[in-house]
Structure 1
Amino acid sequence: MSSASCAAVIRGVEKHYPDFTLGPVDLTVPKGCIVGLVGENGAGKTTLLKLLTGVNPADAGSIELLGSSPHTPAGRGDLGAVFDDAYFYESLTAKQIGKSMAGIFGSRWDSGEYRQLLKQFGLDEGKPVKAYSRGMRMKLSLATALAHHPRLLVLDEATSGLDPVVRGEMLDLFLDFIQDEDHSILISSHITGDLEQVADSIAYLHQGKLLFQEEKDVLLSKYGILRCGAGDLAALPGECIVHTRRTDFGCETLVKGREEVLRLLPGAVCDPASIDDIMRFTSGRDKQ
């Protein structure tokens, strides 16, 4: 995929800490798409997003952001970011925050859009941030990320702490955002069911390494959960088997190449695997 067709291109990016290493990571965010970033706690998701947005510098590799760099005014102006751990001063009101954002973004800041988003999210612009719940603070962050009309949204657990109804509203908003084919979203989330609803592709970060980035529909059709006896399992080629859990009742196995498994074991129970299943079995494999 050419860089011209991508909102973000990450090549060989690394970040080193005394107790953790991220990368090298290669990841792309195509224009007009939602990429879901998944991984266990401590996998490096927030670290990667902060490198992409220029919050922290990478130790190696390159990052291209909408044909520019996250460290240039053009790149930052086209970017809207929401981080799980980034909140505003608690004494400020949403109205005061809007005025501050107008000073930062200048002519790109759309005060009318910001007020509309506050109304849509049910936020009182006169209340201080300290009076907001966690979910309300996340919605305030999202309003500030959208009100300067970015082309790329980078969201770190943006639906976390929201009730199912509001989460549904957020997901609809994300889908509306990418109706403009020049818009894109990279979103990390532990709520993988949300990503199964809206993401076009899934990138799986595990222990600092990107294990894969695949189209969601292809991914979910490729993996399966096979339930069978040890004898049937032995009939499968090794490359089909990701990890097996053995119980008193048989084997439960994450397999890759579900259609091939069903061909080799006609009549076997091999249900489609969810993103949660893929993460759970991969983690179990590495703990052995």
Structure 2
Amino acid sequence: MIHEYALDPAVLISWADNDRDYSEFLREYGLGTPRIVSSFPKKKANKLRSYLLKNSPQNAQSLTGQRYTEMVLKIVESIVVRDVQENDGDDWAEAAIDENRRAPFDVILSAAEIREGNNVTPTSMYSQGSIWNHPGQINVSRTNEGLLAAVLNLIRLADDKVVIIDPFGWTSEAIGFIRFMLQSISSNRVSVGLPVIMLFYKEKRGSGMSGNGSPSADHVRQQIFHGLTGDVTNIQLEVFELRETENNDVFHNRCILTEHGGVITGHGIGVSGNEHHTDEVILMSPDIYQKKWQQFVEKNCFEKASDAKS
């Protein structure tokens, strides 16, 4: 539900000069949308910002120039970090073709048509069946394969953190999905490093009526690593068992977040394994994403019952 876009600077300039295109860009690209711009042809956000600003309209103080600068700053708030061989040449399209054949983008959005199957232009992107169109909500099978397919790009393109939030993230079904996800996390990546994986689940207190309580974070972490093979066994995994407190929000949502956005799921990561069972995966709006990121990552508004880190 998140897609990496190689964006031609010439397209950005043309959009800055048009009221409708400028407004659409602010609405349809960046955090909270399916379209995240690639760092290509650079490796880092600050280098991409400098590169794009060098291509700004001649009169930077004009309305077009101010819009262009605003668009560039929005792009670099959340980009897909791509390990590229930086090229200072002027032919953006030629460099995009070479990079696409090395490690394909989801979409190449260029000013003029280029001969790549994943290419669209400002003219063709509105055509019926265009690859520019992405759903904000999908129905998935409640199997490891079905759920992973829905969030694969979110996981694959993450360079910083993958945050899994599920009150029942400690169950065997949830642990099984995380294990399945981690075994696939190094495939088809566009950056060398692997993100930190953070799991937050809710403390369940056992009793004679409700059965066993939730296990400790250390136990859950050990269970996740059990049976994993290859380089993924060295991944940084942090697990947190959280307790609700008075005068704070309740812990009930199930979602997955990265630096590129987040999705909400109805049943969470504890899949049933039955292909006839389904769930909905919904792309988060920017305000809901920021709320969850602050609640769990930046401030952690709950009390820690236990935690386990690498």
Same fold (TM over 0.5): no
Q: What is the TM-score with the length of structure 1 in the denominator?
A: 0.24
Answer 1 or 2: which has greater strand percent. 1
Answer 1 or 2: which has greater helix percent. 1
